[in-house]
Amino acid sequence: MTVLAMLLAGLGLGGRSGFALASGAARGTPSDGAPVVRPELGQGAAAAMVLERWPQARFQPDLAGRIQALSVAHGPERPGVFLDMAELFLAQMLLPEARSILDGVTPEVARDRRRWRAMSDAVRLLAGDVAPDLSGSPLSEPGRQDRSLWLVLQAIAAGDAQMLRDNLDGVPGAMARQPRALRRGVLASVTEAAIEAGANDVVAELLEMVEALPDLSSAPVGYFLRGRSAEVTDQASTALEAFFEASRGWDRYAARGRLALADMALENGGRGALLAARDVLEHGADAWRGDVYELQLLKALAEVYSQSGSNIEALGVLGQLMSRFPGTPEATWAAARASEDMGQVYRRGAEGQLPLAQWLTVHLQLVPLYRYFPDFAKYTEVLADRALEIGGTDLAALEYRRALALLEELDGFAGQPVPVVRMVRLRLKLAQALARGGLMDEALAELDHIEAFEDPALRQQVNRLKSQVLADMGKSDEVLRTHVAAPDAQNLRDVALALWKSGDWIEAMLFYRRLWSGFPDQFAARDASYLLLAARKAGNEAVAAEVVAAFPDLTSSEGWIEIAQSLVEAPAPILPLSEGSASNRLESLDRALGRLRDSGL
């Protein structure tokens, strides 16, 4: 599609083209203060609609006169009076009022039918719509002096570039014949169409008409049109100044001025130009909403942020674009860019290159924008992993819960099924964070909430953690009922201790020996002490002697060695019963108990 066709189809800015201002007065420009001759109907092709006979200054008396005429009109005269009122409203660009009257009129005579058809087509064209079968309308009759204006408006509405070019030359003269309100209403769109068509002479005259209307000339629309016309002749500095002035406003043309500045900055690529465009776009970020220009502004701001190295800021804008304009090609583009930028930001955070406080601030800003973004739950989990790694158990638990909620929303509301195993892994991480934070009851509740799934290895991880949590809660019986097919050192320790506390000395001794043989590097002095006590209680002197023999290699603490030795040393003989032997046994027991008490067991 050509730039011109894009403009005519109403798809946006099109290519950047324009024309420098020409000097001299535009031909046929009327003086609004001069008396206006009001020709009567019935004078050739123009008789179907004569808008210039209704000057703006006489609107109230003319309307009062038509109302008075309506009160005395009878029969077939009444449609003609109603059509006069519609023509009066049309001349002042009061399109809804004119349309309302036309919809209620049924003309009976040929002259009124011609007037009704001409005005009905004019209302459509002035509203930006296509007039059906304009070739059969009085507006397109060869003898009509403003014919070219209506054909150009039809070309703009229909996106017909050839029709536009064929009729632009007559537009300045046709425009000069129109009432001020109508000229003001269509001058901007017709001028821009002429700029895009490259009709330089016509552009010069139309821009002079813009200058003659201060409310257009000093408004963003006037600056924007001058900027566009300067840009086509490579007058970059002139265009830049005009676009900057346009960008100071708050209407659609101000938004387009900001967009034009962003396009120039992105094409330039220099840091200074990008920073200037960034300031302009940020200043007007909330000034214009709801159409293609907001969409293009968001995309331009995201590109400016990305090119200037501000990936974090770009993420916010990309999320806003996807939220505001879902299902558009730009939203698809934004999703791809956001995935890339988000990966970079969260990777920096995971590697410690981004302070956690700053990372968390950015993350919380992204939550409302990306909650339905497929990858956001994954990146939320990355943040939680980092928080848990550095000891932030509360923050980790909060973000793991958020990740779970995001996945549930994707499954329940966005129609994106989430594998059960992924939910289990997240809930397991949440339970780990809670357990490390000392919230054992909550950790156990999360583990119990895990649904059935088919993954033996993951099931073992769940059971290991559950066994550890139960052990820390002192629930020895439940520890023994929690099956772990391939226990790690902590699981063996938890089960052994649970058995020890339940008085099952033989089983406790067996599990401590499994811990010792399977994980010798993790077999601590405390484990050795429990094993020694279990062996003594079970009457297994061989195991007790083995622990005592190996004890110096497990710890450098002399206190532990003395405890172990005191536990296995032969007691003083009880017979023959004497005060000395009894005292020796009591002293030996006191020493052992004292050392155990001092050890913290």
- Above pLDDT 90, what percent of the chain? 51
* pLDDT (tens digit per residue) in 325-360: 999 999 999 999 999 999 999 999 999 999 999 999
Which among 206, 247, 149 has a CA at the least distance from the CA of 25? 206
Q: For position 558, what pLDDT does the model report? A: 47
* pLDDT (tens digit per residue) in 398-417: 999 999 999 998 887 767 78
**CA distances, 503 to each of 106, 200, 537, 543 (Å):** 105, 102, 9, 17
For 428, the enclosing helix (H) or strand (E) is helix 420-436
Q: What is the CATH number of domain 386-486?
A: 1.25.40
Does 14 score more than 90 pLDDT?
no
For 264, the enclosing helix (H) or strand (E) is helix 252-268
Does 303 score more than 50 pLDDT?
yes
Output 417-420 pairs: Cβ under 8 A, ≥24 positions apart: 420/451, 420/453
DSSP assignment, residue 426? H
Q: For position 36, what pLDDT does the model report? A: 34
Q: For position 64, what pLDDT does the model report? A: 94
* Tokens coding 262: 């962003």
* pLDDT (tens digit per residue) in 161-202: 999 999 999 999 999 999 999 999 999 999 999 999 989 899
Average pLDDT over residues 17-30: 31
Neighbouring residues of 287: CB distance < 8 A, sequence distance ≥ 6: 250, 254, 255
Average pLDDT over residues 207-217: 94
d(CA 405, CA 430): 12
Q: Do the Cβ atoms of 276 and 270 come closer than 8 Å? A: no
Q: Of 9-23, 218-232, 500-514, which range is least confident?
A: 9-23
* Tokens coding 486: 């391939």
* Tokens coding 128: 């930006």
Q: How many CA atoms lie within 13 A of 182 on its CB side?
A: 29
Q: For position 366, what pLDDT does the model report? A: 93
* Most confident range, picked from 367-381, 554-568, 585-599: 367-381
d(CA 184, CA 445): 70
- Above pLDDT 70, what percent of the chain? 82
Write the DSSP string, 87-135. Answer: HHHHHTT-HHHHHHHHHT----SHHHHHHHHHHHHHHHHHTTPPPTTGG
Would you tell me the crossing angle of helices 376-389 and 420-436 to the nearest 10 degrees?
Answer: 30
State the Rg of the chain over Cα. 43
Q: For position 560, what pLDDT does the model report? A: 53
Residue indicated by tokens 């940020």: 282
Average pLDDT score over the chain:
82
* pLDDT (tens digit per residue) in 58-115: 999 999 999 999 888 888 889 999 999 999 999 999 999 999 999 999 998 999 999 9
Residue scoring higher pLDDT (264 or 504): 264
d(CA 561, CA 330): 73
Q: Do the Cβ atoms of 529 and 601 come closer than 8 Å? A: yes
* Tokens coding 570: 């032969």
Does 13 score more than 60 pLDDT?
no
Residue scoring higher pLDDT (206 or 270): 206
Q: Of 47-51, 249-253, 301-305, 458-462, which range is least confident?
A: 458-462
Q: For position 581, what pLDDT does the model report? A: 57
Q: For position 542, what pLDDT does the model report? A: 77
d(CA 358, CA 306): 19
Neighbouring residues of 94: CB distance < 8 A, sequence distance ≥ 6: none
Alpha helix (H) ranges present in 327-392?
329-350, 356-370, 376-389
Work out the number of other CB atoms within 10 angstroms of the CB of residue 567. Answer: 19
Which among 138, 148, 74 has a CA at the least distance from the CA of 112? 138
d(CA 127, CA 188): 13
d(CA 477, CA 499): 9
Does 33 score more than 60 pLDDT?
no
Average pLDDT over residues 551-577: 50
Average pLDDT over residues 553-561: 49
Coil, helix or strand at residue 573: coil
Average pLDDT over residues 570-598: 56
Does 564 score more than 90 pLDDT?
no
* pTM score: 0.67
d(CA 444, CA 466): 7
* pLDDT (tens digit per residue) in 462-492: 878 887 887 778 776 676 666 665 677 887 7
pLDDT tier for residue 31 given thresholds of 50, 70 and 90: very low
